[in-house]
Amino acid sequence: MPYLNRDGIKIYYETHGEGPALLLTHGYSATSQMWAGQIAPLAKSFKLILWDMRGHGRSDYPEDAAAYSEAATVADMAALLDAVGAERAIIGGLSLGGYMSLAFHLAHKARTRALLIIDTGPGYKNDAAREGWNANALKTAERFEREGLAPISEASAERRTATHRNAKGLAGAARGMLTQRDARVINALPDIAVPALVVVGENDTPFLKAADYMAAKITGAQKVVIPNAGHAANIDQPELFNAAILNFLHRHFAPS
pLDDT at 26: 98
Rounded to whole angstroms, what are the CA distances from 171 to 108, 110, 153, 175, 189? 28, 33, 16, 6, 29
In percent, how much of the chain has pLDDT > 90? 94
pLDDT at 234: 97
Q: What is the mean pLDDT of residues 104-112?
A: 98
**161: Cβ contacts below 8 Å, ≥ 6 apart:** 30, 31, 33, 34, 36, 235
pLDDT at 1: 67
Give yes or no for residue 2 having a pLDDT over 60. Answer: yes
pLDDT band at 192 (very low <50, low <70, confident <90, very high): very high
Confirm if 199 and 231 have CB atoms less than 8 A apart: no
**125: Cβ contacts below 8 Å, ≥ 6 apart:** 183, 186, 187
Domain ranges, ordered by start, for the chain: 3-252
pLDDT band at 255 (very low <50, low <70, confident <90, very high): low
Give yes or no for residue 154 having a pLDDT over 90. Answer: no
The pLDDT mean for the chain works out to: 96
Q: What is the mean pLDDT of residues 115-134?
A: 97
Superfamily assignment of 3-252 in CATH? Alpha/Beta hydrolase fold, catalytic domain (3.40.50.1820)
Q: What is the pLDDT of residues 22-81, one digit of tens each?
A: 999 999 999 999 999 999 999 999 999 999 999 999 999 999 999 999 999 999 999 999
**196: Cβ contacts below 8 Å, ≥ 6 apart:** 114, 115, 116, 117, 214, 218, 220, 221, 222
In percent, how much of the chain has pLDDT > 70? 99
Strand-by-strand arrangement of the 3-6 sheet: 3-6, 9-16, 47-51, 21-25, 89-94, 112-118, 196-201, 222-226
Nearest 5 degrees, angle CA 56-CA 60-CA 62? 100
Confirm if 113 and 89 have CB atoms less than 8 A apart: yes
**Rama region for 199: left / alpha / beta (φ>0; ψ in -120 to 50; rest):** beta
